[in-house]
Amino acid sequence: MTKFESNIKQVNSPQAAVYNRLSDLTNLEVLRERINDPAFVEALKASGQVPEDKLEQLSDMAKNIELTPDTITLPGSPIGNVTLRIVERDEPKCIKFEVQNAPIAGNLWIQILPTSPYESKMKCTIGAELNFLMKQMAKKPLQEGVEKLADMLAMIPYGY
C-alpha cells in the first residue's frame, strides 16, 4: 500500500466539534449550501484556492453528491460514481474510510488532534494499492488531492 499524507492543517475548532461533523457525513450538507452561496463563490475566486474555470464544475459536482451518515458518493468521474464509506470511527481522533466502485483499492484516514480547548490540527492520509507504473502516474495527482482535501476540511465551519 502506497501512502500519501497531507501537511498538518490547523483547524479553528475543538477536536470534538471536528470529529462530530466529519463522523456523520450528512453533516457535510453545509458544503453544498456554501458552494451555491454567491458570496462564498466570490470569496473562493478572490482567494485563488479554486481556479475560476473549476468553480462551475465544483458547483455541479456538489449538487449531485449523495450523502448518508456512513457514505459520500461522488458522481461524474470517468469511471462512474466513486463512494467513500466509513469503516472505522475512533472517537474523537480518527475516521477511516474505504474507497468503493474504483478501479484501485484504497482508503482514507482523517486524523484529528487537539492543540488547545478551542483548536485542533488535522492530517489526511490516502493509501492506495498501486503497481510501479501506476504509482509513477498517480503519485502527483494523489499527493495534490490529499493536500486539497485537507485544505478543504480545515476550512469547514465546524461550530461549537
Measured distance CA(33)–CA(46) in Å, rounded: 19
Helix ranges (DSSP H) in the chain: 15-22, 29-35, 38-47, 52-64, 132-155
pLDDT for 91: 96
How many angstroms separate the first and last alpha carbons of the chain? Answer: 36
Q: Which residues contact 116 (CB under 8 A, 6 or more apart)?
A: none
Give the H/E segment covering residue 82: strand 80-90
State the pTM of this model: 0.82
Q: Specify which residues 95 forms β-bridges with.
A: 89, 110
pLDDT per residue of the chain (160 residues) written in tens, 0 to 9: 899 999 999 999 999 999 999 999 998 887 777 777 778 777 777 777 667 777 777 777 777 888 999 999 987 666 678 899 999 999 999 999 999 988 788 999 999 999 999 999 999 999 999 888 888 888 898 899 899 889 888 988 887 5
Domain 2-155, what fold? Answer: Alpha-D-Glucose-1,6-Bisphosphate; Chain A, domain 4 (3.30.530)
Closest CA to 21 of 112, 146, 127: 112
User: Domain boundaries in the chain?
Assistant: 2-155
pLDDT for 121: 97
pLDDT for 38: 78
pLDDT for 64: 80
pLDDT for 160: 57
